[in-house]
Amino acid sequence: MVTDIFHDPRRYGDMQSWREEALSLHGRGPIHRVEVDGFRPIWVVIGHDEVMQIERSPELFTNEPIPVLADDASIKLTAESPMQLRTLIHMDRPDHTDYRRLTNDWFKPANIALRSDRLDELSRQAVAKLEAAAPEGRGVIDFSREVAMPYPLQVILSILGLPESDYTRMLTLTQELFGATDPDLQRGQGSPEEMGAVIMDFFQYFAGLTQDRMAAPTDDLASLIANGEIRGAPIPDLEKLGYYIIIATAGHDTTSASMSEGMAQLATHPEQLELLRHDPTLIANAVEEMIRLASPVRHFMRTAAADTEIAGQRIAAGDWLMLNYTAANLDPRHFTDPLRFDVNRTNAGKHLAFGFGIHFCLGAQLARQELRSLFSHLVPRLATAELAGGEASSSAIFVSGYKSLPIRYTLDGPSRVHD
């Protein structure tokens, strides 16, 4: 390997070069051994078929003990901490099955459909922001900060049942959690100790919430978790907190990053924007293509439970494997001309941005619905869009995407915001 696009967070700060390098790596095979100082050696799996093959065998490739890449020092520190974060993605069967069952129905399409009014209202507010910033029909806006970040956060807060006054706090904590390696987002210097403090802040916030919802349950998701039972017994406190944290954090940065990626692609592919404006029925497929290219969850790790083989490569029991979803979504064996944004791509929906198998993203339907609603409202009004310069992506190896995306745009059509 010439340079390392998987361990070095700064490489995700420049997605153009990251994608080009991932594509060239595909030419050298679907699985690669990578050894970097300070980390255990890993296998990086970038082949679309190979990622699916591993996800199909959760007994052979487990999420435990460590599902996200971390260096030796952080692993040691985490192991010594009395507060071990244990969420759905840290679990294997049978615990995973039982914990996932608790909230699974909440995220099914029928229940998500009940929220479509709220999503459409947020989409109208997003269009209103673009209108307000373009009094003469032309404007410049940081789409990432003004639209893509607040929208999914408001959705998640309302699903969990948290007050909007906690919006800023949750956004900051999530960005500190996922952006520990990004100087603009990290707390302090992003040291393992400071990361521990971020997790403690989450714990404290949600401990208060648990007490509230146990004393006075409502019909929100926080009440379901606070009063939930696993095999007839109350959920232990740490697992309860882990549940809130994964829903509160997994639900917004990821979706925001996908929205921003979608806008960046439209701003750099005017002919694709035109296609959508002429035929809005393409928006659902365009959203899949946006999520494929965004792939904001860059990876999850698996540990081999026994000796096995992937693509002819011998894997030993105990080996650590990275499922790199962002690279798998650029697999040229699966996606023709994979770097191209193509709203008509026939297999766009076969991307792996939401993973696959038993850990398949719990919020996938919700995230899709948010993007569909947003772009269905935006596209009819967006006559033109282009990058205004100064766009920036976060430097993080786990969840990353645009943190700033200034666009210059013109609007047309009648304002429907005040209908």
Residues that bind ligand HEM (CB under 6 A): 55, 88-89, 100, 156, 246-247, 250-251, 254-255, 258, 291, 296-297, 300, 325, 353-357, 359-363, 366-367
Task: Provide, rounded to whole angstroms, the least separation between the CB of residue 325 and ligand HEM.
Answer: 5
Rounded-to-integer distance, Cα 167 and Cα 128, Å:
20
Nearer to ligand HEM, 283 or 411 (CB): 283
Task: Provide, rounded to whole angstroms, the least separation between the CB of residue 55 and ligand HEM.
Answer: 5
Distance from chain centroid for Cα 159: 17
Nearer to ligand HEM, 190 or 296 (CB): 296
Task: Provide, rounded to whole angstroms, the least separation between the CB of residue 131 and ligand HEM.
Answer: 26
Rounded-to-integer distance, Cα 53 and Cα 49, Å:
6
Query: Tokens 């095999």 map to which residue?
Result: 231
Nearer to ligand HEM, 74 or 255 (CB): 255
Task: Provide, rounded to whole angstroms, the least separation between the CB of residue 278 and ligand HEM.
Answer: 26
Nearer to ligand HEM, 138 or 360 (CB): 360
* DSSP H or E stretch at residue 308: strand 308-310
Q: Is residue 194 a contact partner of residue 187, using CB atoms and an 8 Å limit?
A: yes
Residue 82, judged by CB atoms within 10 A of its CB (0-12, 13-18, 19+), counts as exposed
H helices present in 137-191, as ranges: 143, 150-160, 167-178
- Strands 299-304 and 392-393 come out as unpaired
Task: Provide, rounded to whole angstroms, the least separation between the CB of residue 156 and ligand HEM.
Answer: 6
Nearer to ligand HEM, 260 or 395 (CB): 260
Which residues, 6 or more positions from 83, have their beta carbon under 8 angstroms from its beta carbon?
A: 196, 199, 200, 203, 238
Task: Provide, rounded to whole angstroms, the least separation between the CB of residue 166 and ligand HEM.
Answer: 16
**3-class DSSP assignment, residue 28:** coil
Nearer to ligand HEM, 183 or 236 (CB): 236
